[in-house]
């Protein structure tokens, strides 16, 4: 059978585009290599699916082509995204601006998309991997099991983020059509460091301020919960900075991460707290347990003693706060509020929520999501060179691009579809 539209990849953006195209009366087929469409949606938002965010400032999205990005985002408003979900039967609630389904279950989002597509007559070919696409008069789509034909294709294959390292997503599809792709790199993942402290602080969760420095210049700053691991620094604050690390790793630039582990106390307040502990107790690093997770206090105190030339040879656990001079207390305060580690890179694709890189927006018609130089080929979602912050932005990009592509895909001779 020949379809008007074949959607390659039935994830967040692919299902959205299929629904929108089918609503326009087009015959649509979705091919996905997994046995359930929208499988990645199930793991989003820790199983709750952070659908979107009320703060839709463009600074939450990153691309080499910010002008194109801005224009595409302006095509579908936040209200239209919410309306789309209302029509699917999904009501959202906001938690400090982060939108989740009222059911609090990602599965309800995945199911609603799938059911709606089926109600509209979309045909699903599941458990089939598209290997290549060839174009003669129409598109011939070859999977590992069968062949399909379509007037138009929507490539919505996403990326390997969150999957095993063997995941190839849509690479062979893109290659078979000679579509230019910028290298995919991890984003929204942990920031890696080889610093010796990592093996001591592993397992600690702490609130903190992070500052990423590239060649000594501040490139980004975040505040939030940090998860300290033996590989480096994880947690949302680190995730938000990881795309900057990815971009600058292996470029010869020096990347460092500065951490304030006591963001709620000013330097003066922290100093007077330590001085009081020194005066009133016989404690060493235990004197910091009231303001820092004890394992973190121990790790930082060990670093402090190791780095302090006047304490050479001393064992950290035998040093008491009362032994510290005024100058040494100043140094300890500085270390707790400006602890710096060298950054060695990021987590890999499997530990990322999203990958940066992909098909450049400059190759895409911003009105339709069709490739400028290739009539009938549309792209949506993460396969495009856009990555969003944590907080519902990557799914929002998937919904918006799916809505645009599904709303504009048409007969191949439709002049309106030409760039
Ligand atoms: C753990 C985790 C949590 C996340 N949480 C959130 C969140 O809460 N909020 C948020 O905004 N974003 C979140 N994201 C990111 C978000 O899930 C993705 O950005 C989004 O799903 C991308 O949509 P997509 O349609 O481009 O790709 P996907 O949803 O990944 O869909 C692509 C589909 O294509 C299929 N496919 C790939 N190649 C082929 C092929 N050759 N043949 C056939 N099928 C193929 C895949 O099987 C897949 O189903 C999270 C990601 C992860 C990994």
Distance 73 CA to ligand 1 centre (A): 19
Closest ligand 1 atom to residue 131 Cα is: 41
Q: What secondary structure does DSSP assign to 330-353, as a single string? A: HHHHHHHHSEEEE--EE--GGG-S
Render pLDDT for 98-131 as a digit per residue (tens, 0 to 9). Answer: 999 999 999 999 999 999 999 999 999 999 999 9
CA distance 6 to 139: 9
CA dihedral sign, ordered 342, 344, 348, 352: positive
Helix count and strand count (H, E) for the chain: 12, 21
Q: What secondary structure does DSSP assign to 114-125, as a single string? A: HHHHHHTT-EEE
Q: Name the percent of the chain lying above pLDDT 70.
A: 98
Distance 44 CA to ligand 1 centre (A): 9
CA 97-101-107 angle, 5° bins: 135
Render pLDDT for 205-224 as a digit per residue (tens, 0 to 9). Answer: 999 999 999 999 999 999 99
Distance 346 CA to ligand 1 centre (A): 20
Highest mean pLDDT among 134-138, 244-248, 317-321: 244-248
Closest ligand 1 atom to residue 395 Cα is: 11
Residue-level pLDDT at 412? 52
Q: How far apart are the first and last CA of the chain?
A: 28
Among 51, 113, 395, the mutation site with the greatest number of ligand 1 atoms within 8 A of its Cβ is 395
CATH topology of domain 2-186+355-417: FAD/NAD(P)-binding domain (3.50.50)
Residue ranges around ligand 1 (CB below 6 Å): 8-14, 31-34, 39-40, 43-45, 49-50, 129-130, 156-158, 161-162, 169-170, 173, 353-354, 381-383, 392-395, 398
Residue with the bigger pLDDT between 381 and 168: it is 381
If DSSP codes are grouped into helix, strand and coil, which group holds residue 64? coil
Q: Which of 208, 219, 313, 212 is nearest to 265 (CA)?
A: 208
Residues 6+ apart with CB under 8 A from 67: none
| Pick from 162-176, 183-197, 332-346, 405-419: least confident | 405-419
Residue-level pLDDT at 416? 46
Q: What secondary structure does DSSP assign to 224-239, as a single string? A: EEEEEETTEEESHHHH
Distance 191 CA to ligand 1 centre (A): 22
Residue-level pLDDT at 270? 97
pLDDT-based confidence at residue 132 (cuts at 50, 70, 90):
very high
Residue-level pLDDT at 168? 82
- Which regions of the chain carry the CATH code 3.50.50.60? 2-186+355-417
Render pLDDT for 236-246 as a digit per residue (tens, 0 to 9). Answer: 999 999 999 99
Q: What is the mean pLDDT of residues 323-347?
A: 96
Q: What does the mean pLDDT of the chain come to?
A: 95
Among 6, 8, 9, 92, the mutation site with the greatest number of ligand 1 atoms within 8 A of its Cβ is 9
Model-level pTM?
A: 0.94
Render pLDDT for 151-199 as a digit per residue (tens, 0 to 9). Answer: 999 999 999 999 977 788 889 999 999 999 999 999 999 999 999 999 9
Residue-level pLDDT at 417? 45
CA distance 238 to 189: 7
Using an 8 Å Cβ cutoff, are 305 and 331 in contact? no
Residues 6+ apart with CB under 8 A from 238: 190, 191, 210, 222, 226, 227, 232
């Amino acid at each position: 059978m020949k379809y008007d539209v074949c959607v390659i990849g039935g994830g967040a953006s692919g299902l959205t585009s299929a629904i929108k195209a089918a609503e326009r009366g087009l015959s649509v087929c979705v091919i996905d290599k997994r046995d359930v469409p929208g499988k990645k949606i199930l793991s989003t938002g820790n199983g709750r699916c952070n659908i979107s965010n009320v703060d839709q400032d463009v600074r939450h999205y990153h691309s080499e082509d910010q002008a194109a990005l801005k224009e595409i985002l302006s095509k579908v408003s936040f209200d239209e995204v919410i309306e789309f979900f209302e029509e699917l039967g999904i009501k959202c609630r906001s938690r400090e601006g982060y939108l989740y389904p009222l059911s609090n279950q990602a599965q309800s989002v995945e199911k609603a998309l799938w059911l709606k597509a089926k109600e509209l007559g979309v045909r699903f070919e599941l458990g089939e991997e598209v290997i290549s696409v060839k174009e003669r008069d129409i598109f011939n789509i070859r999977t590992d099991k069968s062949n399909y034909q379509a007037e138009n294709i929507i490539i919505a294959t996403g990326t390997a983020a969150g999957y095993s390292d063997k995941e190839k997503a849509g690479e062979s599809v893109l290659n078979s059509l000679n579509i230019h792709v910028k290298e995919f790199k991890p984003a929204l993942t942990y920031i890696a460091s080889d610093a010796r402290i990592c093996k001591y602080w592993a397992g600690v969760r702490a609130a903190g301020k992070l500052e990423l420095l590239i060649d000594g210049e501040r490139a980004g700053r975040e505040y939030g919960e940090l998860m300290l691991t033996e590989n480096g620094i994880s947690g949302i604050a680190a995730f938000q900075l990881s795309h900057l690390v990815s971009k600058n790793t292996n470029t010869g630039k020096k990347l460092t991460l500065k951490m304030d582990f006591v963001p709620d106390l000013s330097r003066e307040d922290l100093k007077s707290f330590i001085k009081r502990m020194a005066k009133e107790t016989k404690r060493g690093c235990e004197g910091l347990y009231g303001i820092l997770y004890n394992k973190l206090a121990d790790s930082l105190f060990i670093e402090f003693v190791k780095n302090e030339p006047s304490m050479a040879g001393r064992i950290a656990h035998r040093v008491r706060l009362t032994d510290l001079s005024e100058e040494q207390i100043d140094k300890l305060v500085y270390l707790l509020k400006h602890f710096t580690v060298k950054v060695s890179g990021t987590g890999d694709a499997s530990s990322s929520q999203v990958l940066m890189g992909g098909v450049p927006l400059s190759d895409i018609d911003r009105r339709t999501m069709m490739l400028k130089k290739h009539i009938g080929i549309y792209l949506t979602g993460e396969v495009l060179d856009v990555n969003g912050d944590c907080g519902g932005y990557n799914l929002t990009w998937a919904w918006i691009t799916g809505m645009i592509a599904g709303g504009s895909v048409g007969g191949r001779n439709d002049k309106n579809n030409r760039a």
